[in-house]
Chains A and B, each alone.
Chain A
Amino acid sequence: MNMDVSTLTVCQAADGLRKRDFSSVELTRAVLAEIEKKDAGLNAYLSVDAEGALRQAAAADGARSEGRDGALLGVPVAVKDLINVEGQPCTCASKQLVGYVSPYDATVSARLRKEGAVFAGRTNMDEFAMGSSTEGSAFKVTRNPHDLTRVPGGSSGGSAAAVAGGEAVAALGTDTGGSIRQPASFCGCVGLKPSYGRVSRYGVTAYASSLDQVGPITKNVEDAAVLLQALAGCDPRDGTTLDVPVPDYRAALMGGLKGLRIGLPKEYYIDGADPEVTACVRRAVAGFAAAGAEIVEVSLPHTEYAIAVYYILATAEASANLARFDGVRYGHRTARPESVFDLYAKSRAEGLGTEVKRRIILGTYVLSSGYYDAYYGRAQKVRTLVRQDFVKAFGSCDVLLTPVAPTPAYRIGEACDDPLKMYLGDIFTVPANLAGLCGLSVPCGKTASGLPVGLQILGPPFGEGVILRAAYAYEQEVRS
């Protein structure tokens, strides 16, 4: 069999399957073998469904022998453990959901299933996607494949580590405040957060409903385009998806950089960021300019409020979204409740982790009678200002280039005692969620010690085509 599964991309896999270089069953076996070999060290997966995956792979091979083809037919994909796949666990890395088996497919799962993708396993994450290092998982700490003493980022850290560590061809993550882009940056992958309303959230366990989006974590930009093609589109089951035509994202890759207007938001190039990160990003920007892009400086004056706004709105929504984990219908239930309210209190006290409780309490507080206007109401207004900053900025440029995170991957245990410090690490990613923009992280170099650094490319809502074009040109022409 002619493949190195640890570096294999989605497009290469599809090509190999099409040419009958290998079958989907062989490819899936190879991926399962990589997981078997490496995951004790990486802890990227929470569960692996070998039997189910091989069954799907055999079905894909059967379909191919009957003449079917497709960009994802028979390609194994890892799924973040908060996206429902019928018949598989969906713990959200929480003790609260141990034993829960999804009775239904999320729309993104159904779409991938229809394309013939194979669901190999479920990746680790911060509990209920609340965190930026995957240390918040109730089960295990995922390690960064580039340095096992460091975090992979989060909350989609398992997905990024699986892809970077060669344990997955590609993976799905979710991004509420940077949870796809930041781990992609820490692990040296491509991670794309679609515009709000581009991809259905139906069946994706909600953290903050007005911010959450599902997106791909892949080995290169072309794979991100291929996966987005399958995920994107209006869904009657999610009223917040928009009926905007889905362009051909692979065709969109080919525009090049000439004439592209690149905006550099001055508030994102600040002292305090890691100098090596800044250097990598500056070098990338210079490369864009040299390849014919036009560079303009723009201002996003409300950037400094974004973190505060995010942690008010996201926690407020989370406080309601996570109320359903009450031990009544599914999930963890305390052993001997004395009353129905005791059942709630004890089940949740036992089932939910510290960071989740912290955010539920924060969110409950900001919505409380007497505090609503000062926190939630005001945060909504500032969110509008943040959004208007971007509308104005995109008046003078096509995409924005910024760092993804102020630092490269930090050491395990380094930040988890200081939630505020961890929250501030989201400063460059959170505004895109508040404004509903699309954004991606593409590797733009490494630090002296070999840690990957990501470049963030932000585009206007439903501008996935243009950020993929910029990222692809950078990856193909500038970086190499």
Chain B
Amino acid sequence: MSRYLITIGLETHVQLKTKTKMFCGCSLAFGAEPNTNVCPVCLGYPGALPVMNREAVKLTVMSGLMLGCEISRSSTFDRKNYFYPDMSKDYQISQQARPLCLGGGVTIQLPQGPKRIRINHIHLEEDAAKINHYARFSGVDFNRCGTPLMEIVSEPDMASPEEAMAYLQALRQILVYAGVSDCNLEEGNLRCDVNISVRPEGQEALGTRTEIKNMNTFKGISAALDYEIARQLATVARGGVIVQETRRWDPDLGETQSMRTKENAHDYRYFPEPDLVPVALGSELVEAWRASLPELPSVRRERMMAEYGIPGYDAGVLADAKENADFFEAAARLCGPGQGKTVSNWFMTEIMRLLSETGKTVSQCALTPEALAELVTLVDRRVINGPTAKELLPELFRDGGMPGALVQARGLGQVSDASALEAFVEQALRENAKSVDDFKAGKKAAAGFLVGQVMKLSKGKADPQQVGKLVAEKLAKLA
């Protein structure tokens, strides 16, 4: 049997982070009682007209700029006609002829190196209502109807489910970075249609594709891709023919099922939306938006490595989530040059651990970059020692406040006064004569034990380095 190549293209629907709906002033607050965030416009009442949400246009253009798209100077909206209870007007306002963004792409990292996944276009449209099925009837919740939805249509550039998932992860990271969407899968912020085809190696033309509609978990998308590829390969292996059709992913059965074939495909009868004038975007406005763009995560990783002298691994982990990188950079800048690696260590170990233990994000916890910077500085200046700092961190994480104030109030400052330390050393040597003997007999490890005893006597406040030095001096005299 010849080898088969897989081709995947994705249509990703992203809910934009606007306060109000696409064409009316209704709120988008998640979790409201059904049909409470509605008005004549989003309910499709006679005579109601759409009004463009400028913020949605801006967020779409920002996404396009982040993804290297060309921005249309004049963009138009179209009506997509179909009857279904989830669309109050029985047509959806979308963009077909002249979408807001054209071209662009995302670079994904693969084991064999980076790969560019091209984007065909990005358009803006309104979301449909949500249909809830009950035992004896179905209900339509129009709260979601009219939510601004950005659709990012990729080229069929992905050759495996892994590449598709890498593309989605990269896309999601960029969109969260740009602040255009929360990309919260639980709230349905990100949904995907996938197009899949297979063809024998060596064949130029793509095979017949199927489309799987409306998946909203990464796990589901990945499983659906695996299933559908296996199904298509099994079909051609049997000598069967792939039918061009739209399929549905059933997460419970773990399989895709036919929804409609090409013969039964909808004729959406697109035509220009006469209620909306074209969106004209002057180059000055677009350039102003471009100037306000955040860095791409990949660019930020490189910059943080150079600027703070941190390893590529650290920089990559920090850059993954914009708010982590923001927190790190704020703290590192406050600490000044040379402290980048120390700040990164604190973040990568202690803070990450607290985040995972509490299930919080860095913006939800009470710790501030200022507090972390002060903590690092206190250790650096030997005002407190490392163990004390580690003890303080969970409290700062939970309750906030500044470490300097806590150290002062509780007298946690390091004891580095030589005479006070000397007394502790004398006491430790006196009380642990056996260890002193051991040392004399050549057991060098006994010195460590003695240092530990001194630390204990100082209630942990002694400077461990200084104690080490003093103990070594004393033992040397005894030897």
Which stretch in A1-9, A22-30, A320-328 binds the other chain?
A320-328
CB of B45 within 8 A of CB of A106, answer no
Please report the C-alpha to C-alpha distance between residue A153 and residue B50 in the assembled complex, in whole angstroms: 32
Chain B residue with Cβ nearest A369: B267
Interfacial chain B residues near A423, Cβ < 8 Å: none
Are B47 and A103 in contact (CB-based, < 8 A)? no
A330 partner residues in chain B, CB cutoff 8 A: 45
Cα separation A478 to B52 with both chains bound (whole Å): 48
Asked if A324 and B269 make an inter-chain contact with CB atoms under 8 angstroms apart, the answer reads no
Question: How many Å lie between the Cα of A239 and that of B53 in the bound state?
Answer: 11
Q: Mark B22-58, 1 if CB is under 8 A from A, else 0.
A: 0000000000000000001001111111111000000
Q: Which of B83-91, B218-226, B419-427 contacts A (4 or more CB under 8 A)?
A: B83-91
Q: Check A376 for interface membership: any CB of B closer than 8 A.
A: yes
A106 touches B85 (CB 8 A): no
| B267 in contact with A202 (CB, 8 Å) | no
Confirm or deny: B276 has a beta carbon within 8 angstroms of a beta carbon on chain A: yes
B62–chain A nearest beta-carbon distance, Å:
22
- Of the candidates A90, A206, A320, A325, which one forms a contact with B271 in the assembled complex, judged by CB atoms under 8 Å apart? A320
Q: Which residue of A lies closest to B35 (CB)?
A: A329
Nearest chain A residue, comparing its CB with the CB of B271: A367
Least CB distance, B41 to chain A, in whole angstroms:
8
The answer to whether the Cβ of A194 comes within 8 Å of any Cβ in the partner chain is no
A236–B51 touching, CB < 8 Å: yes
Let me know if A324 and B44 touch, CB within 8 A.
yes
Tell me, rounded to whole Å, the shortest Cβ–Cβ distance linking A163 to chain B: 23
Nearest-Cβ distance from residue A406 to partner chain B, whole angstroms = 28
| B296 lies within 8 A of chain A by Cβ | no
Chain B hits for A104, CB < 8 A: 40, 45
* Interface residue B118 (Cβ < 8 Å from any Cβ of A): no
State how many residues of chain A have any CB contact under 8 Å with chain B.
44
**Most chain A CB neighbours (cut-off 10 Å) among B45, B50, B51, B52:** B45
For residue A82, CB closer than 8 A to chain B, the reply is yes
Tell me, in angstroms, the Cα distance from A316 to B46 when the chains sit together: 17
Given the known inter-chain contacts A319-B81, A324-B89, A328-B85, please indicate yes or no for A90 contacting B277, CB distance below 8 A: no
Partner of A84, one of B47, B140, B271: B47
A47 at the interface (CB under 8 A from B): no
Contact of B47 among A204, A236, A319, A364 (CB under 8 A): A204
Is B88 in contact with A329, judged by CB distance below 8 angstroms?
yes
Instruction: From known contacts A210-B274, A344-B83, infer whether A323 and B45 are also in contact, taking CB-CB under 8 Å.
Output: no
Contact B277 A240 (CB under 8 A): yes
Asked if A328 and B47 make an inter-chain contact with CB atoms under 8 angstroms apart, the answer reads no
Does B275 have its Cβ within 8 Å of any Cβ on chain A? Answer: yes
A378 interface hit (Cβ, 8 Å): no
Residue B461, interface by CB 8 Å? no
The residue from A92, A208, A210, A376 contacting B46, defined by CB atoms under 8 A apart: A92
Q: B43's contact among A83, A97, A329, A368, by CB below 8 Å, is which?
A: A329
Q: Are A205 and B46 neighbours in the complex by a CB distance under 8 Å?
A: yes
Q: What's the nearest-Cβ distance from chain B to residue A53, in Å?
A: 21
Q: Which residue of A lies closest to B273 (CB)?
A: A209
CA distance A103 to B42 in the complex (A): 13
- Residues on B close to A: CB < 8 A? 40, 43-52, 79, 81, 83-85, 88-91, 140, 267, 269-271, 274-277
Closest 5 CB pairs of A and B: A323-B90, A367-B269, A209-B274, A210-B274, A205-B46
Residues in A lying within 8 Å of B, measured CB to CB: 82-84, 90, 92, 97, 100, 103-104, 106, 201-206, 208-210, 236-240, 316-317, 319-320, 323-326, 328-330, 340-341, 344, 364, 367-369, 372, 376
